[in-house]
A and B are shown apart, each in its own frame.
Chain A
Amino acid sequence: MAPNTKVVYPGQMNSTLVIQSLISGVMMGSVYALLGVGFSLTWGVMKVINVAHAAFGLLATFMAYSLLQAYGVDPVASLAITIPLLYFGGCILYRTLLIRITSAKAVIVSSMILTFGIAIILENGMLLVWGADPRLLTTSYTSKVFVVGPFYFQYPPLIGFVMSIIGVMTIHLFLKRTYVGKAVRAAWQQPEASQLCGINLRRISTITFGLAVATSGAGGVGMGLLYSFEPHSHNLWLIHLFLVVIVGGVGNVLGTALAGLIIGIITGLSMAFLPYQWVNLLTFGLLMIILVVRPQGLFQSEV
Chain B
Amino acid sequence: MIAIDELLRRFAGLDGELDRAELSRWVENHWILPESDGERESERWVFHEVDIARVELILHVKREYAVDDESMALVLGLLDQVYSLRRQMRRLCSALESQPPEIRDAIRKALPPAGK
Chains A and B bind each other: no
Q: Which residues of A does B touch, CB under 8 Å?
A: none
Q: Which residues of B does A touch, CB under 8 Å?
A: none
